[in-house]
Chain A
Amino acid sequence: MPVLETEGGAVWRKRTTGQAMARWAMWLLGVAIFIWCWQRISDATTWFFVWDAPEIAGDILGRATPPRWSYINTLWEPLWDTLNIATLGTLAALVMAVPVAFLAARNTTPSALFVRPIALLIIVSTRSINSLIWALLLIAIIGPGVFAGIVAIAIRSIGFCAKLLYEAIEEIDRTQVEAITATGASRMQVMAYGIVPQIAPAFAGIAVFRWDINIRESTVLGLVGAGGIGLQLQASMNTLAWPQVSLILLVILAAVVVSEWVSAKVRGAII
């Protein structure tokens, strides 16, 4: 009760005294926990290695510059692989995500009791595992190479795309669906005319957004042997070829910047 009756009239405060005290106590507790954690981390750190970190970083930077520009000729192919992994992975993910999204959306699922939980499970399970871990698993199953990378990206992206898409499906204007239903259209026709046009902009946005993310993700897949430019990065680091490492990082940066620019353009054109 923030209104206090005093002799001078009613006084309004945001919190009662009790609430203010409770908040103060919570803050005290929070700060105490933070300090305690800080102490633990500090005890567990080998400070000897940390103190010379700037020195080591400077040393590596010195070795890495200038980048070995001539190495670029061996990078074009892995870069192309990386782009392909991201693009084909995204396409495959979209093909699989669309039906999952329709099964997961409350207003289009055939059965909220049986089918919807399965669709949601697919979404959660594919989303919760990092693409690097998917790649590790898939390399064991289908062997190393670009294909494992594509499948890893595709599986990882299903959940993301399906989740955003089914949220878009649930937010559609119901009266347009009603109107198409009232013409005597079949279930498939209601979907094609009443629902698809309404979610088309969201679909395009999701596709480009996920492609953009997948470009980044596919650059590291090579670290575990799933093809792409990460493979070169791994090899260069293992042989301490720092000038090559710095060139690869620059190339990845450039690829990401370009993909960001493309996706911004595409999104702007569609929505």
Chain B
Amino acid sequence: MLKLQKLTKTYKTGDQALKAVDLDVPSGQVLALIGPSGAGKSTLIRCINRLVEPTSGSVMLGDVDLTKLGAAALRRERRRMGMIFQEYALVERLTVMENVLSGRLGYVGFWRSLTRRYPQSDVDEAFRLLDRVGLVHMADKRADELSGGQRQRVGICRALIQNPALLLVDEPTASLDPKTSRQIMRLICELCAERGLAAIINIHDVALAQMFVQRVIGLRFGEIVYDGSPNGLTPDKLTEIYGEEDWEATIENVEGEEVEAAE
């Protein structure tokens, strides 16, 4: 469903963040993208919805090459890709409901969105989603009154109300405590399963990734160095992705405490 071909990103500074990445994501597959800081994980998912312009290569979403689209067509395709952020990226001064409904901006006109007159079906769907993540009683609260875990749930609702085919998830748990991190990861994976969504999840926490996903991609210096099942991540493989370190604790503790794998 999503196919990256020779995707390359070179920043103006000359840093090559992505070096001809090829990746094929079938529909409904949830995969984790791991790698050290600066490996190009964030750049990779931002090149897919073109928050960052790729330098060359193509991104095929279904039959559409996203890299070739003009501004209007790109906006239409962005509706099919929901995005979830590390620092939640909610509009802090708007209410929870407004934040969720902002996921529909690609579908409603400017004046309707400005005067907050969303179609009733959108509002119904927003209530359904808020109910699903257990926040329906918070609908009228301002986003900055919520805790980290609650904000991330609102972020998830905002992405899902777009009715996307693909979720791009950028470090969803990096600002959360270990328990909330697991709950958020579980929620994302459950919702993907319910709706048959594919997802690319950037994540620092190798153990957490192994717990929830079917496929792991290891990125190092902008190149894919591992592509396989979570169980195939041996100490040797982790050394190849992250560099020399004692990995036994990380792998043994998959069922135990959270372990910060990346520096």
User: CB within 8 Å of B: which residues of A?
Assistant: 173, 175-176, 178-186, 188-189, 192-194, 197-198, 200-201
**B89 contacts which of A178, A186, A200 (Cβ < 8 Å)?**
A178
Whether the Cβ atoms of A193 and B113 lie closer than 8 Å is: yes
A185: which B residues are within 8 A, CB to CB? 75, 102, 105-106, 113
3 nearest CB pairs, A to B: A184-B106, A185-B105, A184-B78
Q: How far is the CA of A185 from the CA of B91 in the complex (A)?
A: 14
Chain A residues with Cβ below 8 Å from B106 are 183-185
Establish whether residues A175 and B110, one from each chain, have CB atoms under 8 Å apart when the complex forms. no
Chain A residues whose CB sits within 8 angstroms of the CB of B79 once the complex forms: 183-184
User: Do the beta carbons of B93 and A175 come within 8 Å of each other?
Assistant: no
Other A-B pairs, 10, CB within 8 Å; known A180-B91, A180-B102, A197-B94: A176-B89, A178-B89, A179-B155, A182-B51, A182-B83, A183-B78, A183-B162, A184-B75, A184-B79, A184-B162
In the complex the two chains form, what is the Cα distance from A171 to B191 in whole Å? Answer: 35
Give min CB distance, A121 to chain B, whole Å: 28
Q: A192, B158: Cβ atoms under 8 Å?
A: no
Asked whether B132 is an interface residue with its Cβ less than 8 Å from the other chain, the reply is: no
B67 within 8 A of A: no
Indicate if B141 sits at the interface (CB-CB under 8 A).
no
Name 28 A/B residue pairs within 8 A (Cβ), A-sorted: A173-B92, A175-B85, A175-B87, A176-B90, A176-B92, A179-B85, A179-B158, A180-B105, A181-B78, A183-B79, A183-B82, A183-B102, A183-B104, A183-B106, A184-B76, A184-B106, A184-B162, A185-B102, A185-B106, A185-B113, A186-B105, A189-B105, A192-B110, A192-B113, A193-B105, A198-B92, A198-B93, A200-B93
Give complex CA distance A185, B83 in Å.
Answer: 13
- Residue of B94, B105, B110 near A183 (CB, 8 A) is B105
CA distance A194 to B94 in the complex (A): 10
Also in contact, A186 and B81, with CB within 8 A (given A175-B87, A200-B93): no
A-facing residues in B30-64 (Cβ within 8 Å) = 49, 51
B residues in contact (CB < 8 Å) with A? 49, 51, 75-79, 81-83, 85, 87, 89-94, 102-107, 110, 113-114, 155, 158, 162, 168
Closest-CB distance, B66 to chain A (whole angstroms): 12
Question: What chain A residues lie within 8 Å of B82 (beta carbons)?
Answer: 182-183
A200 surroundings in chain B (CB, below 8 A): 93
- Which residue of B has the minimal Cβ distance to A181? B51
Closest to A177 in B: B89
**Shortest distance between the CB of A265 and any CB in chain B (Å):** 21
CB < 8 Å neighbour of A176 from B81, B83, B91, B162: B91
Decide: A194 and B91 in contact? CB cutoff 8 A: yes
Chain A residue nearest to B94 (CB atoms) is A197
State the Cβ distance, B53 to closest chain A Cβ, in Å.
Answer: 13
For A179, give its contact among B89, B110, B114 (CB under 8 Å): B89
Cross-chain contact A183 with B103 (CB below 8 angstroms) = yes
| A186-B104 Cα distance, complex, nearest whole Å | 11
Contact B89 A193 (CB under 8 A): no
Q: Least Cβ distance of A196 to chain B in Å? A: 9
Q: Which residues of A contact B162 (CB under 8 A)?
A: 183-184
Given contacts A193-B102, A193-B105, contact A186 B110 (CB under 8 A): yes
- The smallest C-beta distance from B112 to any residue of chain A, in angstroms, reads 10
Q: Which residues of B contact A181 (CB under 8 A)?
A: 51, 78
Contact, CB under 8 Å: A182 / B87? no
| Interchain CB contact under 8 A, B91 and A175 | no
Q: Shortest CB–CB separation between residue B236 and chain A, in angstroms?
A: 36
Q: In the complex, which residue of chain A has the Cβ closest to the Cβ of B168? A: A182
* B93→A183 contact, CB < 8 A: no
Give chain B residues whose Cβ lies under 8 Å from the Cβ of A173. Answer: 89, 92
Closest residue of B by beta carbon distance from A174: B89
Complex alpha-carbon distance, A201 and B85, angstroms: 25
Q: Which residues of B contact A176 (CB under 8 A)?
A: 89-92
CA distance A107 to B79 in the complex (A): 23
Q: Is the CB of A197 within 8 A of B93?
A: yes
How far, in angstroms, from A197 to B114 measured CA to CA in the complex? 12
Q: Is the CB of B89 within 8 A of A175?
A: yes
Most central of B76, B155, B158 by chain A CB within 10 Å: B158
Are B49 and A182 in contact (CB-based, < 8 A)? yes
CB distance from B232 to the nearest CB of A (A): 32
- How far does the alpha carbon of A194 sit from the alpha carbon of B155 in the complex, in Å? 14
* Contact residues in A for B89 (Cβ distance below 8 Å): 173, 175-176, 178-179
Chain B residues with CB under 8 A of A188: 110
- Which A residues lie within 8 Å of B155 (CB)? 179
